Structure 1
């Protein structure tokens, strides 16, 4: 079972920052990076639609230019990075999942991914974005990320021709994993908060766990 560092192990470093992914890459098989677009057009690594939670600023990400965003600090420590800079910071031995949180990102995300020296998967809870990714670069793996009805999640993954099904730990169970595997999907469960959850997921045959802390799988890459 693979260990995937959620936002660069958000519990141990400022999330979605260069130092976070560099540090996480020493332990994790893969890192996830959240993607949004700022007002000046660049793609940046941030999860929320606003900067309020993780920076010393306020307001919507899409209303800030890149220079304005980079004048803020993430948890008092680092700048909000561009997606390009984040991809350059990940070593070639570590995979990257790019979580697309808005419509209209697919073209630029895939352009940057094509230039990066890392294996990229694109993930979204927005079926329209996954359809866009399939049309632009069908060879780049896609993951449908969801929280809720497992049957609905499977149907969206089928419709968008995904390689991965990424349910929450609460949604994931043995039936879902077996069904997904029978249909050719790999399963990465996210929101995994303790070792007991990770052990249960492993017993069901989950392919990867997306976690905020490396101690979810203390034996990983030691």
Structure 2
């Protein structure tokens, strides 16, 4: 089983390195995360046409660099000539893992094309206990689990989150039956990462948190930027918060006691 979540207290995940405090998914954002004393970074990845995994939320570089075009249609050589809003080139995942060895990274695989290069990068860098692989796509996560096995931490995909939410409303025995086959720690799944609500329907409720915990899953909630909401969710018993304002989140957690 992965040691990705080992340690005391709730975790603070800097969303894209703190997109409201520093240019997102940049080397500067990673350095910002580390400078705050945070041990976890949330990021997103796409792969270039020659299989290099880079930090990028969007499929194109238009929004965050001085260039245009789709990441998957560019070679790394071409992409490396562009500059992001911090003035640096886009950061490769293998560089992130090599240059910041104390950091644990939640990695959202943004499309199908990145699955194999991402799995290969994890193998090559031996980042087994340092990464948690995430995606909205259950199929994408199934491919990653098949490629890397339970040694690497993963989150739940959208379909499995819906299953967990539905099961959380059932009484004990019925809930256990409803959760049979849902990925759990034995499969490498260590957490569920969810918004507070979806289309006006609450997701993070006491019953949801309880069901997740009984199944061996931590609950991480995104994207939480206001102190009052941070406190309310931590009072509810969630295990981690994802924030575009990691400095604020750090201060909230520090005021409450032990965390990592």
> Smaller-chain TM-score range?
0.7 to 0.9
Deviation, 1:135, is 1.1
Higher helix share: 2
Structure 1 unpaired stretches of 5+: none
Aligned-partner Cα distance in 1 for 2:243–2:157: 14
Aligned-partner Cα distance in 2 for 1:17–1:23: 10
Q: TM-score, normalised by structure 2?
A: 0.76
Q: Helix, strand or coil for the counterpart of 1:24?
A: helix
Q: Report if the CA contact (8 A) 1:165-1:188 is conserved.
A: yes
Q: Which is higher, the Rg of structure 1 or of structure 2?
A: 2
Aligned-partner Cα distance in 2 for 1:33–1:9: 10
Q: How many residues align?
A: 220
Q: Report if the CA contact (8 A) 2:47-2:117 is conserved.
A: no
Corresponding residue for 2:251? Answer: 218
One of 78, 81, 84 as aligned partner of 1:74? 84
Q: TM-score, normalised by structure 1?
A: 0.88
Aligned-partner Cα distance in 2 for 1:192–1:42: 31
One of 35, 45, 48 as aligned partner of 1:35? 45
Structure 2 unpaired stretches of 5+: 1-9, 166-178, 198-202, 256-260
Q: Helix, strand or coil for the counterpart of 1:87?
A: helix
Structure with larger RCO (C-alpha < 8 A, sep 6+): 2
Aligned-partner Cα distance in 2 for 1:79–1:124: 25
Aligned-partner Cα distance in 2 for 1:213–1:129: 29
Q: Larger deviation: 76-85 or 188-197? A: 76-85
Corresponding residue for 1:25? Answer: 34
Q: Report if the CA contact (8 A) 2:13-2:241 is conserved.
A: yes
Corresponding residue for 2:162? Answer: 151
- Please report the RMSD computed on the Cα atoms of aligned residues, expressed in angstroms: 2.5
